[in-house]
Structure 1
């Protein structure tokens, strides 16, 4: 979720619900009466056992479970437990392999090409980012491109692996085509996220994790379920023109690039999405653009996603990186906010607040609908159900 979101026209309450703000519509938001708090370890246990039940190796299942629960704990519910069933189906239908490991195909002192061999995305991503970190520690920069990967969850999870070791971390992935280029009418690019994590002082950090489309497809689906209109700038109809009807977007239309229409700068989001595709699909030799399988109904088709992982040692450049990073973040946080606005934040602050809330509650707050869906999955897989706190 992007940290800042501009809406050009006043919205009704129902439209505001569709913006996906954590305090309103996230699986972990809303009234306590329709939510259950699940301890982090229990959520992780459940996800891991579900994946192992369909054949995933214990290490691979553990990596994927850790990522899913981390996403939920950080407030990115669209990429947490909500995605577990998708990973299960991919394994069941053979598009995700459980009998392989990522492997190094080409390597130099600072670059590498990885073949993910269609393993779980978290397994490919962790292998690749850890390789980038190793190279950055040895030569200052590590740049790793991977092909043969799958949906890898939140991009920021990989960038943070580098940041936790005092490095700058960057992570990118291509995705199923959901985004229509500026002036176009066909979905060509994915939501193609960008993540950057940069260390400040005393464990503080700048953590940008954003899609290059204006919104996620799941938020359009939410508006459809609520029979609500979507805000301007979210999507286009079959003719390529902006629409407020989620059914047109989900039918033969598509998402708009970050920025919306051309006049409001959507061509910049389109350019960023293309940049991610260059880093991922074009550089790695994976599927790209319309060659990637569709988002819905193709679990039996290998995704062969392309991904890019970069680690940079700031100590190879001007001294005092963390101090300057901290000073910039502090200046923004401490500045006087706009009239009627709350405090100014920097990328990563909403996630930090959410992590504190998880700690306060003693677990992740899941909507009853999600808990029910996971109960059905547990019954199907003969896995002990996820147990909320009493």
Structure 2
């Protein structure tokens, strides 16, 4: 069952929880802002639903509360960051802020980060650039989850890609895993005891897994040696474009782990405390190509032309960012959506840390 909760009250609870772990006031504010931003935009798989995973990582030492990101190589337009296993959101904000600074000074900034942690939705970081009138891109590798085309074992991560560009009436944001869906969406369906609606998970290379009662198969998604994995964008057949999602996942690997000399997907495991995911952050100032305002206006007209195309009866044409904007207005007014199991997890964490949660859930 899912219910609605006031976003401001839940943000305050998340802020107190991270202070309870020992994060600073500023860090706790950044973490609460990012997680609630995610839920406000309708992406429940990566909002407060992820608190339990981060809690586990903090307790076992995979996330190190007092670590700070370090610049280990830098040029005018680029940098490599060693995050020293700090919480991924804090590393992401630090890295994107640096890329934005470089883009403002030199027209472009590219930062790649190693030894980080799960950083939530890639689109949040791309949007940080767009909020300042810039084009932003971000991506992240992860532990093996994707089945390469014709393979029976996962090898590539979900490896999301995000792109954000200023537009009217709101920012264009494209954010997607290079698998058909992210791992977190599978977790949400399991919590709600819902069958998967499409070929999101396969075993033995091409056998669909749908039934939520097949818990052995879903549990095997965490086992790189199991014959179960997430389908790439395009499914599990070249006829439907499986090789395209697979190829995009490899490109993400280049911009994250290969360029940073960090851990590739197959070297990342939930239990190994000496490895962490890698991320990339790219920012471009449209002004290096011409009048920024005219470029954004032209892009906005282009998007509006798409929205106004003839649509299938009963359907609406959306461009990327439209649904998120609609979700934000709804959730800001009526509350963010949290399922009962996730709420129990949040209450459990707050109780252990001695944080009062009553105001947020009543």
Q: 1:243 aligns with which of 195, 204, 208?
A: 208
2:186 is aligned to 220
Verify the 8 A CA contact 1:148 1:286 in the aligned structure 2. yes
Verify the 8 A CA contact 1:43 1:386 in the aligned structure 2. no
1:355 is aligned to 328
Cα 1:44/1:360, change in 2 over 3 Å: closer
Structure 2 distance, partners of 1:89, 1:58, is 21
2:196 is aligned to 230
Matching of residues 176-195 of structure 1 within 5 Å: 176-195=143-162
Residue 311 of structure 2 corresponds to residue 345 of structure 1: no
Q: 1:280 aligns with which of 252, 256, 261?
A: 256
1:331 is aligned to 305
SS at match of 2:281: strand
Deviation of 1:82 after TM superposition, in Å, equals 0.7
Q: 1:53 aligns with which of 5, 20, 36?
A: 20
Deviation of 1:223 after TM superposition, in Å, equals 4.9
Structure 1 distance, partners of 2:118, 2:68, is 16
Structure 1 distance, partners of 2:188, 2:277, is 26
Cα 1:331/1:106, change in 2 over 3 Å: same
SS at match of 1:89: helix
Verify the 8 A CA contact 2:199 2:210 in the aligned structure 1. no
Deviation of 1:304 after TM superposition, in Å, equals 1.8
Structure 1 distance, partners of 2:148, 2:103, is 35
- The TM-score with structure 1 as length reference comes to 0.84
Cα 1:357/1:228, change in 2 over 3 Å: closer
Verify the 8 A CA contact 2:13 2:360 in the aligned structure 1. no
Residue 174 of structure 2 corresponds to residue 208 of structure 1: yes
Verify the 8 A CA contact 2:198 2:210 in the aligned structure 1. no
2:295 is aligned to 321
- The TM-score with structure 2 as length reference comes to 0.90
Flag structure 2 segments of 5+ consecutive residues without an equivalent: 221-225
Deviation of 1:154 after TM superposition, in Å, equals 0.8
Verify the 8 A CA contact 2:192 2:339 in the aligned structure 1. no
CA-based RMSD: 2.0
Cα 1:199/1:102, change in 2 over 3 Å: same
Verify the 8 A CA contact 1:212 1:258 in the aligned structure 2. yes
SS at match of 1:184: coil
1:257 is aligned to 232
